[in-house]
Amino acid sequence: GSLPKWVVNKSSQFLAPKAMKKMYKACLKYPEWKQKHDPHFKPWLFPEQSRLPALALSELSLQHADSLENIDESSLAESKEDHGEGSDEDSLT
């Protein structure tokens, strides 16, 4: 279901600033934390450090945006596995 606009607006007045303050405090502590936790591991700068499995280029296909506009997913059923336990959707109901 969807939430009434007033609920979203009211909660965003309190939740968004609180979340941003927590994020700001965590960001201030990050340089110190990173020095203690593998400081030279930066796969976002050095892709060769990535520990994720590589995909073969032959497995990739090119998709154009216009082919994605009319995807019909109405026949698909959602399950708890699709959302994972403790997802946001579970907590809203």
Q: What is the pLDDT of residues 18-71, one digit of tens each?
A: 999 999 999 999 999 999 999 999 999 999 999 998 888 888 888 777 766 677
Is the predicted pLDDT of residue 93 greater than 50, yes or no? no
> Rounded to two decimals, what is the model's pTM?
0.44
Average pLDDT of span 76-92: 58
CA gap 8, 50 in Å, rounded? 39
Q: What pLDDT does residue 80 have?
A: 63
Q: What pLDDT does residue 91 have?
A: 47
DSSP 8-state assignment for residue 56:
P
Cβ–Cβ < 8 Å for 43, 51:
yes
